[in-house]
Amino acid sequence: MSKSPKVPQIYKFPPLYTPQTNKLIRKQQLQTWESIILQICSQLSKWCISKNGKIYDPNSGELIISLFENDEIQRSCSQEFQQEIWNYMLQNGTALQLKDSEDSTLMAIFWESLDSWSSTILEWCESTGKLNQVITIYEICESDENINCKFYGMPSSFCLLVLQRLVDRNRATLLKDQGKVVGVKIV
């Protein structure tokens, strides 16, 4: 059985699902949707979700939640409104459309900022003695030794964005082979 997320009370408020005409209310509505999406993805440790808001259990294939549909109150967001929510999140840098994936309808969700993730990975390197060593993206994101780290399972494309923040801070060097990142050295 999959883990059900705890949704905020506002998720059961019917007007949330209909775009409001007042500009101030509409902005608050978009902020609320952004908050709901970030909160649920954080709870479920989901890095990517489909643009239609459906989140599935990767093990069972069972639907965990359809963010833009609430059967309990029989409400759903139109596709146009869903796109407006995604556009709002894209502008805020809390979502990124994954174009390099097989499924271009996937959205990467930044439930923590890239700077926060880069600090977390830097702290992990410091605490595990990995500073000044060459490590792979796989080792960071998928190694069994990191199964209890909050960045465990992070997609490699997302990890590269995080590591670029460390490069920008002169704390890391990306090692490439034929233009592809094969490792990183964090100092």
How does pLDDT run across 5-50, given as a tens digit for each residue? Answer: 899 999 999 999 999 999 999 999 999 999 999 999 999 988 888 8
Average pLDDT over residues 160-164: 92
pTM of the model: 0.83
Dihedral over alpha carbons 109, 115, 117, 121 (to 10 degrees): 150
The burial of 186, by beta-carbon neighbours within 10 Å (0-12 exposed, 13-18 middle, 19 or more buried), is given as: buried
Can you state the percent helix, strand and coil of the chain, rounding each to 5?
Answer: 45, 20, 35
Q: What is the pLDDT of residues 62-98, one digit of tens each?
A: 889 999 999 999 999 999 999 999 999 999 999 988 7
